[in-house]
Amino acid sequence: MTSLVSLRGIQKTYDGKQLVVKNLDLEVSEGEFLTLLGPSGSGKTTVLMMLAGFETPTTGEIVIAGQHMTRLPPQKRGIGMVFQNYALFPNMSVAENLAFPLEVRKLPTVELRDRVEKSLAMVRLTPFADRRPSQLSGGQQQRVALARALIFEPRLVLMDEPLGALDKNLREQMQYEIKQIHARLGVTVVYVTHDQSEALTMSDRVAVFNDGIIQQICPPKELYERPGNSFVAGFIGENNRLSGVVRKIIDDECLVEIAPGVTVKARKVGVHATAEPTTLSIRPERVKISPQAGEVDTVIAGEVESVLYHGDHIRAHLRGLGPAPFVVKLPNTNGAAATLVAGASVSIGWASRDCLALDLMEA
């Protein structure tokens, strides 16, 4: 796939002292759905604003489709953008909102009407053409904003937390709809969110931002299965953390001592030498309760502190493994919870490929 967007050596500071974005290099392929994910203040929105042209990078350059855009004003970039809270023009009807980008491009009236109609049909809002945005529901407004950003057929569309204001059910429905439109039109999307499940379900690739730096950029599956460092492991999904010291390295595995005399085998991700301190990360759903002999590589004893019933699954907090409670997640199948009673001693275990030895988590 050819690269559509290149960000090269981008740095951004607002006050001349603190860098909001630190030395960013990023390529976005034609037709890709890339999500910028991160906590607030991580620099992801600033990157989007620089792409849109509302902010100028302090250093570095932006190239889109072979054209240098670093200092080009937004109206000359031809990028579609969907804003947080939609930013529909309240003084115009739905149809007028959709016609706006075509009007400023001086499209002939006949073609303009035709495109507006098609666009309305695409987001199933034809009967609402003459309504004002304030007369629509949140989901409908969102669809208008989406249609408006796409109607002038930009090659790149930016979305800034577009689903943040919707409730859960509607959000899932809109996620599906955005994916559908993306697949149908083949447009390139750069999507900003702080919702990790949104990032995982929608994206081709996810870039995890923290502290102005991309911590990891890869497809969603890899992000969850193989987090590159302890920030990503902690930010994407749940994990149990155990701190220890590397004792031995064997190929891509290592032995880590988590308590005097207790050593576990782990996959080597963020460690390089013996005697190095490390954080082990284990996903709660990968832990087995009372494993059969030979089923897992590591077996450890713990005491059940509490059991929480979640309907489709059961969560148990165990004591005796590090300072924080150790979380175990079990699917709610027949008899799964039988052994899990508060106060009971249980043995738990996991495969060594599910236990990652990452860099030391800073406090």
Partner 1 sequence: MSAPLSAEQMAGASPTAMPADIEKAARRVERRQAFSAALLVLPLIVLIAFAFLIPVGLLLFKSIDNPVVAEGLPETLTALQSWSPADGLPSDAAYTGLKRDIEKAKAEGTLGVIGARLNQDTPGARSLLQATGRRLDATTDADPHQAFIAIDKRWGEPEIFGAIRNAGDRYTLNYYLNALDLTRNTAGDIIAKPEGQRLHINLFIRTVWVSALTAFVCFLLAYPIAYLLAHLPARRANLLMIVVLLPFWTSILVRITSWIALLQKQGVVNDALASLGVIGEAGRLALIYNMTGTIIVGTHILLPFFVLPLYSVMKTVNPNLVRAATSLGASPFTAFRRVYFPLTVPGIFAGSSLVFILCTGYFITPALVGGQNGQLISNIIAYHMQQSLNWGLAAALSTLLLVMIGIVYFLYTRLVRDQR
* 3-state class (DSSP) for residue 222: helix
Q: Which of 180, 181, 207, 213 is nearest to 193 (CA)?
A: 207
> Which amino acid is residue 35, in one-letter code?
T
Return the number of the residue (90 or 127) whose C-beta is nearest partner 1: 90
Return the number of the residue (84 or 201) whose C-beta is nearest partner 1: 84
CB 199 within 8 A of CB 37: yes
Q: Which of 101, 220, 270, 302 binds partner 1 (CB under 8 A)?
A: 101
Q: What is the DSSP string of 82-121?
A: EBTTB---TTS-HHHHHHHHHHHTT--HHHHHHHHHHHHH
Q: Which of 43, 53, 284, 302 binds partner 1 (CB under 8 A)?
A: 53
Assess 54 for contact with partner 1 (CB under 8 A).
yes
Assess 78 for contact with partner 1 (CB under 8 A).
yes
Q: Which of 41, 73, 219, 277 binds partner 1 (CB under 8 A)?
A: 73
- What are the tokens at 17? 């002292």
Q: What is the pattern of x (binds partner 1, CB under 8 A) and - over residues 141-160?
A: -------xx--x--------
Assess 75 for contact with partner 1 (CB under 8 A).
yes
Q: Which of 171, 123, 113, 131 is nearest to 149 (CA)?
A: 123
Q: Which stretch binds partner 1 (CB under 8 A): 101-109, 134-142, 216-224, 299-307?
A: 101-109
| Nearest distance from C-beta of residue 163 to partner 1, angstroms | 16
| Nearest distance from C-beta of residue 96 to partner 1, angstroms | 10
Assess 91 for contact with partner 1 (CB under 8 A).
yes
Assess 189 for contact with partner 1 (CB under 8 A).
no
| Nearest distance from C-beta of residue 37 to partner 1, angstroms | 21
Within its chain, how far is the Cα of 1 from the centroid? 22
* 3-state class (DSSP) for residue 52: helix
Taking the C-alpha atoms of residue 41 and residue 38, their distance in angstroms, rounded to an integer, is 8
Assess 93 for contact with partner 1 (CB under 8 A).
no
